Amino acid sequence: MARIILHDLSETHRLGGIMAEAVAASGATALLFSGPLGSGKTTLARALVEALPGGDMAEVASPSFTLCNHYPTTPPVLHCDLYRCPGSLPEELADGLDDPKTLTLLEWSEYLPHGELPQDYLDISLQACEEGRLLTLQAHGPKAEGIVRHLRRIWPVE
């Protein structure tokens, strides 16, 4: 487990860039975001997507109403939100979680049934704190562990 404090939006953008590098290096395919409304899930997802090759062509927006957004990045990104559909999954999400060539970013991952969790994923919990945003990262599998190792080399991690 690792903890990171983001003090401002510029640090969120910087972390998104570092995470994009880590995803490319590790081959990770699933990042699961949890946290209350306004905790920064979409902001961090946007920073990561925009840092990927092709991210300048992506119009990253919260998928709260569309449920799933696709971005023309390398790797391709499927960005989903389960806030409005606890108990049922968009078909696109199941397909994305099964596709090793797609990076799936899932907001409100606490609504994902345990049996649907991918074998390898990085669990990212966000919450407001006095200093800004506290991220708690828990790796599940070797690819996710690769992301955390990459972050530890570059970012001050507890």
The string of pLDDT tens digits covering residues 27-59 is 888 999 999 998 999 999 999 999 999 988 888
pLDDT at 65 over 70: no
| Interior angle at CA 25, CA 5 and CA 35, nearest 5 | 35
Q: What are phi and psi of 72, to 5 degrees?
A: -85, 60
In the chain, where are the structural domains located? Answer: 2-154
pLDDT digits (tens, 9 = 90+) for 72-92: 999 999 999 888 776 677 778
Question: For residue 132, what pLDDT is reported?
Answer: 92
The string of DSSP letters for 94-154 reads: HHHHH-TTSEEEEESGGGS-GGG--SSEEEEEEEEETTEEEEEEEEESHHHHHHHHHHHHH
Give the fold, CATH level 3, of 2-154: Rossmann fold (3.40.50)
